[in-house]
Amino acid sequence: MGKKVLLTGFEPFGGDKLNPALEAIKQLDGRNIEGIRIVTQQVPTVFYESIRTVTEAIDRHQPDVVICVGQAGGRAQITPERVAINIDDARIPDNKQQQPVDVPIEADGPAAYWSTLPIKMIVSRLREAGIPSAVSNSAGTFVCNHLFYGVLHYLEKNKKKVRAGFIHIPYIPEQTTENGDPSMALDTIVKALEIVAVVSATTEKDIAETGGALH
């Protein structure tokens, strides 16, 4: 029986009319890629509600892998995140006007969780496919990091053997006509997420290649 991958994507936030993460996962819902079944979940850009939405989807779908996807305006590459940290420090309000500052996500939780996705192999395979990619060492302190941490905490607490992590993606071109920020075609992002899903579901052990940063 093939593996099942749950892809999640956030609703638009911060005044944007669309979120490329949601637009990309919509195109992959129900797809079968190299024997791997894709299921998807739309996620509210709201503290705690986002975690609840995804953990309920995990219980419902029983996936082998969970890949949360979010927009990282200003980045030019597909960036698998290495680490989720136990803090909310919101520069802008979420979609329910909540703006926590220096608040732990889980009061008794560890300081951080490592992604359990094969992030170095993902970067390698994306680059082989001609898609710009790099490891990111910060998922920020907004709802993306919040969900990333919350999902890993839930899986650890409930002893579920499910791989999970977070992928940040660039804007798509129609979001950048005024500000000139880096962007990536939606078709390229969809192709990238297909690769991410397959690599995450089929790679037993990550490769050891440099993915570090000086700052």
Active site residues: 81, 144, 168
Burial class (CB in 10 A: 0-12, 13-18, 19+), 115: buried
Taking alpha carbons only, the member of 81, 69, 76 closest to residue 29 is 69
CA dist 53 → 29, 45, 135, 160, 171 (Å): 17, 11, 26, 17, 24
Let me know if 89 is exposed, middle or buried by CB neighbors in 10 A (0-12, 13-18, 19+). middle
